[in-house]
Amino acid sequence: MTMTAASPARHHRARSDLSRAGRGLFLAAASLVFLSYVLMPVAWLVSSSFQSEREIVSKPPHWLPHEPTAQNFSAIFFAGEKAVTYETRRKGDPATGGFIPSTAGNLLPSMRNSLVVACSVAFLNLLIGVPAAYAMAKVRFRGRQASIYGILTTRVIPDIALVVPFFLFIRNLGLLDTIWSLIITYLAVTVPFSVFILVSYFESLPDELDKAARVDGCSRWQTLTKVFMPLALPSLVAVILFAFLASWNEFLLALMFTQTPKSQTLPIIVASFTSDFTISFSFINAAGVLAIVPPVLLALLFERYIVSGLTAGAVKG
């Protein structure tokens, strides 16, 4: 009796063990496929940036460089010391034999422009967005609903529709070809979404907390800085990341409003490398590697807040 009772149970356990193992295997395989889909382009970007232009076009491609070279990076960081001209290249100068574009020296200044713009936009997003969102979430005033909807409506207008009005606006202010033109227009594009993220987070914090702080002796401003901002840290990080990345990657407006390396940002300069005398894809990829460094650093810095910040406000409670 015990035998017959035990053996089906054992069978059952064995079967469930098997199915659990199979499920694990399937999940691992699926993750692997997904990871390669996401990471392979990045791996190729990094690998090819250390290859010469000759190696990069080899068939089959070399996933690990056979003759690693730092010439692309040295061309970027020591651009000033090399006079890259049509003549030097025609003479077959070995230093410039890698088809390095003549404007390689513009890359670092453009990176600085990008950093200044992205950091300013991120900071100003907080400065403008946090008080605005607090007011919309916690202060009862006439037109509160209208202002929330108004700000959300601006998000459904595609950027391309705004280019011409923005251009006229920037030109009349005399800000064409300055980084100010970018800071101003990026703010217009990013602030509404930042406010939206923050409003939903602030709304998820109980009203009584706001009341308690004010009765405890906080002015509205102190309530915001001493109680709401520390509690909303994940959403503040989400705003910083969003604003920084949006500005860092922005192409269209930067293409319209900047004309010289004085104000041009990284995406514009990198794109310009494809219209030089010759095109070096390994060099462009080296520029791409530098372009992903700041966002990656930022993500590492705020890693523990990112997940909670992006989902914050999605579910109230």
Q: Which residues bind other proteins (CB under 8 A)?
A: 206, 208-209, 211-219, 222, 227, 230-231
Alpha-carbon span 189 to 243, nearest angstrom: 9
Q: What's the min distance (Å) between Cβ of 219 and other proteins? A: 6
* 120 close to 92: Cβ distance less than 8 angstroms: no
- Of the pair 221, 277, the CB lying nearest other proteins is at 221
The CA–CA distances, whole Å, from 228 to 198, 200, 225, 235 equal 11, 13, 6, 11
Q: What's the min distance (Å) between Cβ of 228 and other proteins? A: 10
- Of the pair 121, 232, the CB lying nearest other proteins is at 232
- Of the pair 66, 140, the CB lying nearest other proteins is at 140
Q: What's the min distance (Å) between Cβ of 222 and other proteins? A: 7
Residue 243 makes CB contacts below 8 A (sequence gap 6+) with: 118, 121, 122, 125, 186, 190, 194
Q: What's the min distance (Å) between Cβ of 207 and other proteins? A: 9
Q: What's the min distance (Å) between Cβ of 213 and other proteins? A: 8
- Of the pair 209, 252, the CB lying nearest other proteins is at 209
- Of the pair 82, 144, the CB lying nearest other proteins is at 144
Identity of the amino acid at 168: L
Residues listed for the chain = 317
Identity of the amino acid at 176: L
Main-chain phi, psi angles of 265, to 5 degrees: -100, 175
